[in-house]
Every structure is written in C-alpha cells, then in structure tokens.
Structure 1
Amino acid sequence: MKIGFIGLGLIGGSIARAVRYFYPDTEIIAHSRTRASVEQAVADGVINRVIDQIDEDFSDCTYIFLCAPVSSNAKYLEQLKPLIGPDCIITDVGSTKTDIHEKVTDLDMEANFIGGHPMAGSEKTGYANSKRILIENAYYMITPTEKTPREAVETYRDFVASLKALPLVIDYHTHDYVTAGISHLPHIIASSLVNLVKDEDTKDGIMKLVAAGGFKDITRIASSSPEMWEQICMTNRKNISRILTDYIASLEKIKDQLDEAKSGAIYHLFETSRDYRNSLPVKGNGPLARIYEIYCDMVDEAGGIATLATILASNQISLKNIGIVHSREFIEAVLRIEFYDEESMKSAIEILRKHRYVIYER
C-alpha cells in the first residue's frame, strides 16, 4: 500500500502512526501547511516523505486521507481529481460530512470517495499530541456515497478495523444529525457554561477559585481548538440549531419547574437522566466501555506514588492511568488509579489493602 495524508495534526498523525505500526512496510507520504509537523513525522519514522505540493506523488496512492481543516478539504479535492487513479479512495476525517459529500458530488468524484470520522480526539491539538492508540476502540464512522463500489467500502471497513478502531457504516445525513446531538451540542454547552461562570463570577473570582469536579468534568472540552469548532458549527449549523432549539426548550421547562417548586419533576429529571446514562454501553471495547478504577488516600510525601506503583508492578499489575484528584467534592480519595481489566483492579484492591492503603471503589 501507499497512503497519502494531506494535513497531519492530531487525527491525521494518530492514523498515520497506527498505519505505520500495523503495516510497517506501507509507504506513507504527507503534505501539510505546517512544515514542522511533517518533518517531525519523518524523524519519528511515521512517514517516509514530505510532499511540498499536491502533485503526481499522490497519483498512485491506495488511500488519501484529507486531514486538513474542513474548509480546506474541498480545495484539495479539486487538486487531486486530475491526479488520482480509478481505484484510489479519498477519505476525510472531518466531524461533519454533508459539505464534503456535496463537494464530491459537484466534482463527480463519488466513486472515489468514502467519508470518514474517527470519533476520538482530545482538547489538545497538533501532530505533537498524536498517538497510535487514539483511535483504538473508538467508533470510526464511514459514510460512503451512492456510487462508491461496495467492494471498496468493505475493503476500507476492514482496513479501519485492522487499525483497532470500530467501523460503523452510516448515511452522511444521519451522521451529521447524530453528531450534532452527541458531539457538537456538548461543546457548545461546555463553552457557554464556562462563559456564563466567567460573566457571573464574584468580583474576587470565588467561582473560578472553587470550580471543582463536576464543573471541570463537564467543561473540559471547552479547551478545544476555537478554529476547528467554528468550522464544525458552520458546516453543521442546521442540525445543531434544530437540537439546540429543543435543548433550550428543555432548560426553560426545568426553570419553570424550579420556579414552581415542583420537586417531583426535578427528581424525575435526575432519575431519568441517571437511568439513561447508566444504560449506555459499558461492556466490550466501545468508547464508553467500563472504566476499571479505584481511588486511594495518599499521604502527601515524596515518593508516595512511586511506592504504590512499585507495589503493583512487583505483583505484575499494569496501570492504564494514574493521577492526583485535586478536588474531594465527590470523592474521598486523592489518587485515581485506572486498570485495563476487572481482574487487575480486584487484585490491586486486595494487595493495596494488605499494605494498609485506604481504597474507595465506585
């Protein structure tokens, strides 16, 4: 295989790293407006060559990933059209699909296009933050056109699965409606909530000072790239507006219930949301798979975390993540430890309690 990348940021870089890992003999070329990122990718051994402009180097690619900002990808389609062979598949990684599909139709490139959206990411951006496992166990939405050959779709789906992502073939209109609700609206809510607290804070900034667990959890994504999210909102504005209208209506309803002291209705709000949230998939390898975590009281002294980690390592228990919890708003402990599976978690609890650590389970 030969694979081309146009743009090599967080998502493009992560896909390229996964391709290099699972298909080490693949030739990978990349063009990016940020020269430093592609040069670093060459130094890292992720890509083979930097391409300075869109030219014949892309003509014999099996796949070409458009990983530039959404507004730039249409321009690259026009440049690629006279270059690519009949069997080349162009795909993208954008969070919205309607605009790119309409451009593909206008250019009569439907037979060579399969839309893509890996539902993974981070508030951090750029190639420097890319990682091979970013798309692992994440849903990877695939939106073929009506003219994409079925065999090409199946081959691409298998390719995505081989990178350890979870491919899901879906109509692009449905994709944009679904992501408006579960991805785009949450970013708007997070950003608007942060701005609300900023505007409503006391003169001495007490809200900012004590902002803790719940607030930080729900607003983490507000740290994402403003440029990227402006483009996402502009290219999916109709779907977002439709769902935002319903969301505003639901908030107004909640406000009325509070004003009228309808405690039963407020209880029902929390009860139904809890039950639905708890019904989300928690088994298997999906992005909402169960998290195996414990919390542990930790004495504030040098080497405390290292000692705990050494105890677990000496018992062949691998840690997936470990970090200090800075707020005790909802959690009694100050150290959060995450494991890869339930067996490791249970063994760790037993071992740490034998060493007289205070463990909390959730």
Structure 2
Amino acid sequence: MQCSSIGIIGLGLIGGSIGKSLLKNEASHRVLGWDVNEDAIDFALASGAVTHACEPEKMAGEAELLILAVPPSQMELLSEKVAPFVGKRLKAVTDTASTKSAIVKQLSAIWKEKYVGLHPMAGKERAGIDNSSADLFEGAAWAAVPSALSSKEAAEIATDLVCALHSVPITLTPEEHDAIVAVTSHLPMFLATALVTLAAQRASENPKLPKFAAGGFRDTTRVASCQPWLISEVWETNEGFIKEALKDFINILSEMSSKDSKSLAEMATEAKRARESLLAGRGEGK
C-alpha cells in the first residue's frame, strides 16, 4: 500500500473485515477506526480489526486513505461533516456502498479528485463486526468506480487497497455497476424475501411446512436474513435497474408457467449450463 495510515469509518461486517485483512496481510500497520456504536469500536480493537480508535474529524486529518463503510443513506451527510477537517496527508477517499450512480455523484462533489468508489462482491447475511473476517475478500471481485474528477493517484490507491485485500479490482462506470448488481446482488434479495414471505403465508395454513424447509430452501433464501435496511436502501438508490430486472424475471417465470414438461426440461438443461458458465467466469467451480 502507498498509504501508511488508513482510516475506516463504520466498523461493521465490511469495515471490520477490511481492517482485519489489511493487518493480517501486513498491508498497513496503522488502521484507524470509528463507529457510532462504541461496543463495535471496542470489539474492533480487541479483535485486531483496527489499531487505534479515532473520531472521524481527527481521522480526516491523520489518514492518507479514508474508507467510508457506512449505509448508503449516511454517506453524503458523513462526508459533509468530515470533509472540512481534511489534512494535507489525505490522498484518497473511497466507499463500500452497493449502489454507485447516486453515491458517486454525491461524494465526488464533496471529495473532488480524491474520491473513487468501491464495492466488494463479498459478504454475509449476518452483519456486524462480530461476523467480520480477515479472509472475507479472498479472491473476491471489487468494482472500482472512479468519477470524472478522480485523480490518477486516487485511482491507483483504490486499486492498491483491493489488491492488498487479496481481491480483484474491475473498473466500471456507475451505470454499468448498478445494472450488473441489480441482477447479481439486489434481485436475489428481493426474490429471497418474496419466497420467505410466501412460505410464511403457507406455514400459517400448515404448521408442518417448516419441517420441510431443507437445504434448497435455506440456500435460496439465505440473503433474506440480511439487514432489513439494506433492501430498502438499494431500492432507493437503484430502483430503475432493479425494476427492470424484476420485470424480466417475472417474464421468465410467466414463460415457464406456460411450458410443457419437455420444454421445461430443455430450459433447465440450458440453465444448468448457464450457471456453470457464469460461475466459471467468476473463477468458481461447479
């Protein structure tokens, strides 16, 4: 890393895992951290996610790289609060939000050339610093989303950060990013939520149903256990692309409902091939 002092605001699953990974991989020996929850700060210090607790305003004056790992709805207000305290050492600012079009516009207006957006394609359905892991990002793809104002130095630092976490940076425009994750990340949350809602309705009619909620149901609905605010915030900041994905998905379901068994088998065969191809493209096995 080009930065010897890194600050993380927001010590949840993602922020905590970034800190743990940086320290484990010896990419930095000084990781400053802060969270609105004092217990999270204590846990981060005790578990080796950060080396020092530091208020955001002070952090802005000491850090060379500032990482905003808070919910998307808090990014702009936090930035406006912290930006006036920036010191000469600060080289780059990034965020970890799962939508980018609105966030990049907001934050680049505040941080100017120092800002580059990031989004890790890794996580867990269980949030919080106590679920963080130094290995969370191993081999994961990270979207690197510069703005029109981003400096070459800031872009290089963002890439260095991703590589220091043993991850793979992929540069996208904000619109590219939001269109892609609407299908690969956001739509699964909506589908899982809908399936659980249906199962709960049927379980109220037949209490034996939960006994049959086995592996397929558990795997398919895993992301329905995410933080409730997450699904509302991705909708608020990526509604257009999510609506488009939902519409296309509903059309596919409608098409399936009109097929005969032979046609469904052909469709399932093609879907099996497609899944294996998609995962191979990500670098995963079957």
| Distance of 1:274 and 1:45 partners within structure 2 | 42
In the other structure, the counterpart of 1:304 is none
Say whether 1:98 aligns with 2:93.
Answer: no
Residue-pair matches, total: 282
In the other structure, the counterpart of 1:348 is none
In the other structure, the counterpart of 1:346 is none
Matches within 5 A, 1:188-337: 188-201=190-203, 203-257=205-259, 262-282=260-280, 286=282, 289-290=284-285
| Higher relative contact order, structure no. (Cα contacts within 8 Å, ≥ 6 residues apart) | 2
Say whether 1:161 aligns with 2:156.
Answer: no
| Distance of 1:105 and 1:154 partners within structure 2 | 16
In the other structure, the counterpart of 1:328 is none
| Distance of 1:185 and 1:281 partners within structure 2 | 17
* Structure-2 change in CA distance of 1:143 and 1:79 (3 Å): same
Structure 1: where are the runs of 5+ without partners?
292-362
* Structure-2 change in CA distance of 1:25 and 1:243 (3 Å): closer
| Distance of 2:48 and 2:204 partners within structure 1 | 51
**How far is 1:201 from its partner?**
3.3
**How far is 1:88 from its partner?**
2.2
Asked whether the 8 Å contact 2:6–2:28 carries over to 1, the reply is no
In the other structure, the counterpart of 1:138 is 140
CA offset digits 1:41-68 (Å, max 9, x no partner): 12234323222x4323321311111111
* Structure-2 change in CA distance of 1:155 and 1:30 (3 Å): closer
Asked whether the 8 Å contact 2:119–2:142 carries over to 1, the reply is yes
| Distance of 2:161 and 2:107 partners within structure 1 | 22
* Structure-2 change in CA distance of 1:211 and 1:25 (3 Å): closer
Identity %: 29
In the other structure, the counterpart of 2:16 is 13
CA offset digits 1:65-96 (Å, max 9, x no partner): 11111111111111222222465211111111
| Distance of 1:100 and 1:170 partners within structure 2 | 14
Considering fraction of residues, name the structure with more helix: 2
Q: Which amino acid is the alignment partner of residue 56 of structure 1? A: K
| Distance of 1:16 and 1:38 partners within structure 2 | 12
Asked whether the 8 Å contact 1:187–1:221 carries over to 2, the reply is yes
SS at match of 2:123: coil
Q: Which amino acid is the alignment partner of residue 76 of structure 1? A: L
SS at match of 2:246: helix
CA offset digits 1:319-362 (Å, max 9, x no partner): xxxxxxxxxxxxxxxxxxxxxxxxxxxxxxxxxxxxxxxxxxxx
Matches within 5 A, 1:50-65: 50-51=53-54, 53-65=55-67
Give the 4+ runs in structure 1 shifted more than 4 A. none
**How far is 1:143 from its partner?**
0.5
| Distance of 2:209 and 2:47 partners within structure 1 | 43
Q: Which amino acid is the alignment partner of residue 239 of structure 1? A: F
Asked whether the 8 Å contact 2:44–2:50 carries over to 1, the reply is yes
CA offset digits 1:207-256 (Å, max 9, x no partner): 22111121111111111111222212221111101111111111122222
Of 30, 33, 44, the residue aligned with 2:33 is: 30
Q: CA RMSD in A?
A: 1.9
Structure 2: where are the runs of 5+ without partners?
none
* Structure-2 change in CA distance of 1:196 and 1:60 (3 Å): same
**How far is 1:36 from its partner?**
0.5
* Structure-2 change in CA distance of 1:23 and 1:252 (3 Å): same
| Distance of 2:5 and 2:26 partners within structure 1 | 10
| Distance of 1:93 and 1:11 partners within structure 2 | 8
In the other structure, the counterpart of 1:84 is 86
Say whether 1:49 aligns with 2:47.
Answer: no
Asked whether the 8 Å contact 2:22–2:164 carries over to 1, the reply is no
Asked whether the 8 Å contact 2:276–2:285 carries over to 1, the reply is no
| Distance of 1:273 and 1:45 partners within structure 2 | 43
Asked whether the 8 Å contact 1:190–1:219 carries over to 2, the reply is yes
| Distance of 2:203 and 2:50 partners within structure 1 | 48
| Distance of 2:38 and 2:249 partners within structure 1 | 42
**How far is 1:165 from its partner?**
0.9
Asked whether the 8 Å contact 2:5–2:28 carries over to 1, the reply is no
